[in-house]
Amino acid sequence: MVHMKHSVALTLIVGTLVLSACGKKKESVAQNTPAPAVTTQSTTPAPAAEPSQDDAERAKKLELLDYATMEDQYINDPHAQWASTATASSTFGDDNGAKPSEVNAASNAIGPVDGKDWTNNHPDIGFDWLQLGFAKPVSATEVRVVFNNGEGAEAVSRVEVETADGHWVTVWSGLSDVRIDRRGARTWFVRKFDKTQAPTKGVKITIANNVQSGYKVVDAVQLVGE
């Protein structure tokens, strides 16, 4: 009788161990089973539509409007004055002492923008300068030089101002960061600087001819100040 009880107890223990092992095996299998991959459908964005002819024409007109607005602000600036005298280091056609045509004379840079201009005589050699005088000495803060078709705007290498007592002060020198303005017929070289302490009556623009090959063409020059 005792033997049978022991046998029954042993059978129960073995059964429990087997069931426990099976449960652990199933649990281990469940833990090691990778989750099913989630597939996503990629969508490629549709290419942007090409601008229409109307869009292109509108964009061009907006550029022209921006240019006209900029130029109008410069031309009608109440603090700006145009040059009243002008001399230059060279004039187109003055080789070998010949008298150059008035069409290219430095005096054409006097007064407001009018399509008349000074043209130098050296397209890619050495330096040239254009010196301007102004009727009213001011404490200057800015110089603006108008280049027809941008010819020379990229080659300006120095800007000097003349004080009322005849001293010249360099207010800027270096490599011009101005690029030809394709929006209009003129490119404005604009250089701002700290207000001069002494009244300013003159401006001298120096041009490095080989930096921008070709003849340099200046229509007008403004001095800004009060």
Compute the distance between CA of residue 185 and CA of residue 115 in angstroms, rounded to an integer. 10
- pLDDT of 217 above 90: yes
Among 81, 139, 87, 135, smallest CA distance to 108 is for 87
Amino acid at 65: L
pLDDT tens column, 107-129? 999 999 999 999 999 999 999 99
User: pLDDT grade, residue 29 (50/70/90)?
Assistant: very low
Helices marked H in 119-203: none
Our CA dihedral for 28, 31, 32, 33, rounded to 10 degrees, sits at 120
For the purposes of burial, counting CB atoms within 10 Å of the CB of 5, is it exposed (0-12), middle (13-18) or buried (19 or more)? exposed
CATH superfamily of 80-96+103-225: Galactose-binding domain-like (2.60.120.260)
Predicted confidence (pLDDT) per residue in 155-214, tens digit: 999 999 999 999 999 999 999 999 999 999 999 999 999 999 999 999 999 999 999 999
Helix, strand, coil fractions of the chain, as percent rounded to 5: 30, 30, 40
| Domain-wise residue ranges, the chain | 80-96+103-225
pLDDT of residue 13: 42
Using 50, 70 and 90 to split pLDDT, how confident is the model at 20? very low
pTM above 0.95, yes or no: no
Residue 184: C-alpha distances to residues 60, 68, 71, 142, 188 (Å): 11, 8, 10, 22, 10
